[in-house]
Structure 1
Amino acid sequence: MTSAEIPEPREADSPDQAAVRQMGATYGFGRFVVAPLARLIYRPRVEGKANVPKTGPVIFASNHLSFIDSIAIPIAAPRPVHFLAKSSYFDGPGMAGWFSREFFTAIGAVPVKRGAGQAALDALDQQRQLLDGGSAVALYPEGTRSLDGRLYKGRTGVAFLALQTGAPVVPVGLIGTDLVMPVGARFPSMTPRVTVRFGEPLDLAHHGAADSGKARRLATDDIMAAIHALSGQELANAYNEAPAHSPIERIRQVLPHERR
């Protein structure tokens, strides 16, 4: 083989580039074109980026105030973030269906079928597979959006996933997303600024195994305390009993809930 035939060594992909390559061109477009444009328009205040591990599995556990929370976190995070979205966003007909599919793919959403029982377990398994592959996922321990702005008690599904996979949990405090796009609004407002705060990673392993109800409850309480410190919300001291809107929120119907 002559020197001309020896292939030039290719520089290894960064974790961010590798994730984009796996998700495809649409996600790459969203990550490197749409996200910077959104940051330019909305000028979010992002704090604590250095707290986010650059590689390896990580769970972003956030408060939940608005539909755009699942857009704000991927835009603000220094690495690709994935979350579950109902499969109907990906399989609609016509131009509207195409736009919905492309949009949710661009922001890192992973389709999953809605429902309790096996569907909820399948959703949990999808999150586990993403973490096993070294990806970052975003979840809402409250289960569904807070309609009154208060921070509700956390469900134990996020802690279960963290204890089972060993992934660190980065708490996230979102401020102002409910003003940009209140519940019921069809389009976001251009005026209010959003603040996204990333807290220090939580290692929850000391609480015990994932199959321990006490360990899940204590780990969940740690996660919610960290979110509260970042968001500054009033505590509801109750569970948000609004109907769940996605399978991952319905995990609470499958896993036992330790209440106290």
Structure 2
Amino acid sequence: MLGVFSVAYWVFIVLTCPVFFAGAVLVRLVTLPFDRRRVALHLYSSAWGVFYVYVNPLWRLRITGRDILPSHGPAVLVANHASLIDILVLFGLFKPFKWVSKQEMFRVPVIGWNMRLNDYVPLVRGNAESIRRMMAHCDRLLSTGSPVMIFPEGHRTSDGHLKPFKMGAFDLAARHGVPVIPVAVQGTGRALPRHGLILRDHVRASVQVLPPLDPATFDSPEALRDAAHTAIAQALA
């Protein structure tokens, strides 16, 4: 039964994404003269993404600490990564951040078009030139007041355990003097494992926003990274 439901769910997504994308294009056109940071478009995209969580009868989502996130101004958000579903549930934060995502996602029809429309940040993992362009893109976004959302593990965990964090997010925060806000995501790995598209039965996912970390209170970006890793690890435990 779950196999049949999974097929129906993915077909529903494929059929409705073009409709949502048409709405995204309209939002961008209407807001183009006055919304340089594309906040309205991101909030529309957030509603689009989290819609697929709330219409799934097998899933429940709980979000806590959303009020910790700044309503405006730059920040670096860092979250653990266990599943493709992480993206959908993190959209439920409804805050105007910019995603840093692997380049392959930008090539996906409709989804990738919307990511480019939103000015999200592509990255080819392990490619030095791509990393340089990603950092420069994030520098520009932070300097104009847009928060960025990064998965500092670099890729989805395959065993459910939190992996070491890469330095990029924390170098950005230290260089710009903006807070790092850790976000702990749980339950999504059970909803959709890293390998496979069969949905699991009755999943309760949660997103917990943790207190911000001020780079000025740490001796180095490495110490900032370690503090963020510890905060998320403790929340997951």
Do they superpose with TM above 0.5?
A: yes
The alpha carbon displacement at 1:39 in A equals: 3.5
Q: 2:61 aligns with which of 44, 48, 51?
A: 44
- CA deviations 1:212-246 (Å, max 9, x no partner) are xxx122111111111112211xxxxxxxxxxxxxx
Alignment partner, residue 148 of structure 2: 137
The alpha carbon displacement at 1:175 in A equals: 0.6
The answer to whether residue 38 in structure 2 is matched with residue 23 in structure 1 is yes
Q: Is the 8 Å Cα contact of residues 43 and 94 (structure 2) preserved in structure 1?
A: no
The answer to whether residue 83 in structure 2 is matched with residue 78 in structure 1 is no
Alignment partner, residue 133 of structure 2: 122
Structure in which a larger fraction of residues adopt helix = 2
Whole-Å Cα distance in 2 between the matches of residues 106 and 175 of structure 1? 29
Unaligned runs of 5+ in 2: 1-30
- CA deviations 1:99-141 (Å, max 9, x no partner) are 3324545887433455522221111111222211211211122
Alignment partner, residue 180 of structure 2: 169
TM-score (norm 2): 0.73
The alpha carbon displacement at 1:204 in A equals: 1.8
Q: Cα 1:188–1:26, aligned 2, differ >3 Å: closer, same or farther?
A: farther
Q: Is the 8 Å Cα contact of residues 27 and 106 (structure 1) preserved in structure 2?
A: no
The alpha carbon displacement at 1:46 in A equals: 0.6
Q: Is the 8 Å Cα contact of residues 83 and 156 (structure 2) preserved in structure 1?
A: yes
The answer to whether residue 229 in structure 2 is matched with residue 218 in structure 1 is no
Alignment partner, residue 231 of structure 1: 236
Q: Is the 8 Å Cα contact of residues 52 and 78 (structure 1) preserved in structure 2?
A: no
Whole-Å Cα distance in 1 between the matches of residues 222 and 86 of structure 2? 25
Q: Is the 8 Å Cα contact of residues 20 and 28 (structure 1) preserved in structure 2?
A: no
Aligned length: 204
Partner of 1:64, secondary structure, is coil
Partner of 2:185, secondary structure, is strand
- CA deviations 1:146-204 (Å, max 9, x no partner) are 21111222222221111011111111111111011101123544631211000011112
Mapping of residues 249-260 of structure 1, within 5 Å: none
TM-score (norm 1): 0.67
Whole-Å Cα distance in 2 between the matches of residues 29 and 78 of structure 1? 9
Q: Is the 8 Å Cα contact of residues 74 and 81 (structure 1) preserved in structure 2?
A: no
Alignment partner, residue 154 of structure 1: 165
The alpha carbon displacement at 1:29 in A equals: 3.9
The answer to whether residue 194 in structure 2 is matched with residue 178 in structure 1 is no
Say which one has the larger Rg: 1
Alignment partner, residue 20 of structure 2: none
Q: Cα 1:189–1:104, aligned 2, differ >3 Å: closer, same or farther?
A: farther
The answer to whether residue 71 in structure 2 is matched with residue 54 in structure 1 is yes
Give RMSD over aligned pairs: 3.0
Whole-Å Cα distance in 2 between the matches of residues 175 and 25 of structure 1? 28
Q: Cα 1:33–1:100, aligned 2, differ >3 Å: closer, same or farther?
A: closer
Whole-Å Cα distance in 2 between the matches of residues 33 and 144 of structure 1? 23
Unaligned runs of 5+ in 1: 1-16, 92-96, 209-214, 233-260
Structure 1: which amino acid aligns with 2:96?
A: P
Whole-Å Cα distance in 1 between the matches of residues 156 and 229 of structure 2? 15
Q: Is the 8 Å Cα contact of residues 47 and 91 (structure 2) preserved in structure 1?
A: no
Whole-Å Cα distance in 2 between the matches of residues 20 and 191 of structure 1? 39
Q: Cα 1:105–1:46, aligned 2, differ >3 Å: closer, same or farther?
A: farther
Identity %: 25
